[in-house]
Structure 1
Amino acid sequence: MKAAVLDQSDFSIRIEQIAIPVPKRGEVLIKIKAASLNHHELWTLKEKKQYGDFRIVPGAAGDVVELGADCDKTWLGKKVVINPSRNWGSSKSVYGSDFEILGYPHNGTFAEFVAIEEQYVYEIPSHLSYEEAAALPLAGLTAYRALFTKGELNRKSKILITGIGGGVALWALFFALKMDAKVYVTSGKDDKIKRARQAGASGGVNYKNENWKNELADQADNFDLILDGAAGEGFEILLHLVKSGGRIVNFGRTAGLFPAVNPKLLFSKQITIVGTTMGSDDEFRSMLYYILYHKLRPLIDSVYELDQIQAAFKRMEDSEQFGKIILRI
């Protein structure tokens, strides 16, 4: 089968022919139809960590074509999506010591086939295509936990989502709108703000504008909840924009490290800052049900063939996407 393999010599991804995996006891073999790109694997390439050879990328959808011993026979032939959050553990508040994101050490889904434990396989919501379903796992799960578990989103809350255009941010927008939340966004590109407003956002500002804090304050005053996937130098501004007693949930660092902040902003405003990543098995099931119940669909930015993987990553690195970048396999 064809698979994308990380070359440790120069941290590039190349396409190779490797053996089709044989499902072990309790595993199913899935013929992958589509897989999604996430910043998780982009950071792996950029930071050049010595993980060893593996096929990265967790989000994928396909058909169950073979079963290992002791698997439920009804899975055979079903259209499925994979939960990439493995070995979460028993705690609801944080993952355990054995937690891993699909891709290392277990091979990920930039390949024609993948073998995975039955417990991480779920039926695709019936209204979604393979490409749409591939956009769900990592981004949808991260957004769901950030909003509902960590963010404690209430109906009709006023929230800010930074960096609109990425998969997590867009899922958070769609999820929050179904709670009648009033959603505002930031982006470095005006066209992305325009598209977010067309999708239901109440407003937004370009964070490259010198006075973007004041522009946003004029639009919305302050926020009950802020979801941030960027961190970086702009993070301190979020402390000004969140209301007293409000909450900031961070799930990423596309803009770099946190700046030095005035601690008086934290204790005088009684701000809660929470970190989150991925989610539990229960949250994955709840996320799928939420999407099915509301018949939500992701925005697909673009679809590439597996052989075009370098171009797909380049589009993500350049922040050109509005929605998920998908590989058709």
Structure 2
Amino acid sequence: MKAIVLNRNLESNIEFATLAEPVPETGEALIRIKAAALNHRDEWCRQGLYPNLSDGVVLGSDGAGVVEKVADPKDSSWIGKEVIINPAMFWGAEQRAQSKDFQILGMPRNGTFAEHIVIPVDRLHEKPEHLNWEEAAALPLAGLTAFRSLRYQGQAKAGDQVLATGIGGGVAQFAAQYAKAIGATLSVSSSRSAKLEKGKRLGAVHCFNYLEPDWVEQALQATNGFDVIIDGAAGDALNNLIHVCKPGGRIVFYGATMGLPGKLEARKVYWNQLKIMGTTMGSDQDFLDMIAFVKENKIHPEIDRVFAFEEAEQAFDRMRAGDQFGKIVLTP
């Protein structure tokens, strides 16, 4: 079968390779992948910025396809079903945080950038009927991260002022759509005017260019502060988010693409009773709740571009450049 694997002996660090088709073992199923989607995690693996990397591992966390085989007769009802894959492995029984054994599909375990994947049956969920293959593949990792950020950690509700920073990224576009679906007032931020315009199409009432020196004042004047902020950048910009957060508000960050903040406006945090929370992916219960929410509200993931597996290097380069709005999808 054809697959995209990490190979740091090549200049591109990824290889379009031919591998043996995997065989399901007890508790597993063989899925024929119809579409898969890129995440920043895949590009970080390519750049050598992710821990415990191994050459030859199939990359990719997001995927959707058709069940072709199962190892156990008791799982035979899955054969022929259209499914999406929950890439959160070994979360554990505690809803508040993942276990020490937590893994994300695609490193160190073979991922979705292949014509076939073997995956535990308990990671399978029926594909929402309103989604096409590309949309279904785009949902799992970013959709789950955004859902947990907004609903479990952020406790967002109808009427809240919600800011999704870095609109255009996968998690941000889901957070924006989810916020609109629950009846929150949505604002978005970006450094690119074209992405802000697309944010308006997603329903943003206010759009802020965070490179403008007075964007904090603009945000406070327009919204009187945010109840919930969903952020994936952190860095020194975290202090700006502290300033635009309403007293008693929540800042939830799922990444730190801008690194660690050099300082923290601690006085503002305690005086305004702010909550700053971290989050990553989500529990099995979060995934079930997300799927139900997506079905009920007919959420359609934003698809940036679709590439063939053979064009993987172009797809990775597009993500690295930050040019995308929504999810970049790969198809066999």
Q: TM-score range by the shorter chain?
A: over 0.9
Equivalent residue, structure 2, for 1:216: 219
Match of 1:295 among 285, 293, 298: 298
Equivalent residue, structure 2, for 1:6: 6
1:263 deviates by 1.3
1:107 deviates by 0.5
Q: In structure 2, do the counterparts of structure 1 residues 101 and 181 end up closer, same or farther at CA, with 3 Å as the change threshold?
A: same
1:106 deviates by 1.5
- Give the 5 Å matches for 1:95-110: 95-110=98-113
Match of 2:259 among 235, 241, 256: 256
Task: Judge which range, 262-271 or 130-139, deviates more.
Answer: 262-271
- Give the 5 Å matches for 1:238-253: 238-253=241-256
Equivalent residue, structure 2, for 1:304: 307
Task: Judge which range, 64-73 or 98-107, deviates more.
Answer: 64-73
Q: Secondary structure at the match of 1:96?
A: coil
Which amino acid letter does the alignment assign opposite residue 170 of structure 1?
Q
CA distance in 2, matches of 1:48, 1:250: 19
1:186 deviates by 0.5
The number of aligned residues is 329
Task: Judge which range, 250-259 or 44-53, deviates more.
Answer: 44-53
**Paired residues of 2:8 and 2:14 also in contact (CA < 8 A):** no
CA distance in 2, matches of 1:119, 1:310: 32
CA distance in 2, matches of 1:99, 1:49: 14
| Alignment deviations for residues 156-189 of structure 1 (CA, whole Å, 9 cap, x no partner) | 1111110000111111111111111001010010
Structure 1 runs, 4 residues or longer, greater than 4 Å off: none
Q: Secondary structure at the match of 2:246?
A: strand
CA distance in 1, matches of 2:289, 2:73: 26
Equivalent residue, structure 2, for 1:15: 16
Equivalent residue, structure 2, for 1:193: 196
1:218 deviates by 2.2
Which amino acid letter does the alignment assign opposite residue 7 of structure 2?
D
| Alignment deviations for residues 39-93 of structure 1 (CA, whole Å, 9 cap, x no partner) | 1222222326441131121100001011112442111111110000011101000
**Paired residues of 1:71 and 1:118 also in contact (CA < 8 A):** no
Gaps of 5+ in 1: none
TM-score by length of 1: 0.97
| Alignment deviations for residues 250-287 of structure 1 (CA, whole Å, 9 cap, x no partner) | 00112222231231111111111000000011110110
CA distance in 2, matches of 1:44, 1:194: 31
CA distance in 2, matches of 1:56, 1:156: 40
Equivalent residue, structure 2, for 1:118: 121
Which amino acid letter does the alignment assign opposite residue 75 of structure 1?
W
Task: Judge which range, 283-292 or 207-216, deviates more.
Answer: 207-216
CA distance in 2, matches of 1:265, 1:6: 44
Gaps of 5+ in 2: none
Which amino acid letter does the alignment assign opposite residue 56 of structure 1?
L
When the two chains are superposed, the root-mean-square deviation of aligned CA atoms in Å is 1.2
TM-score by length of 2: 0.96
CA distance in 1, matches of 2:209, 2:6: 35
Equivalent residue, structure 2, for 1:44: 45
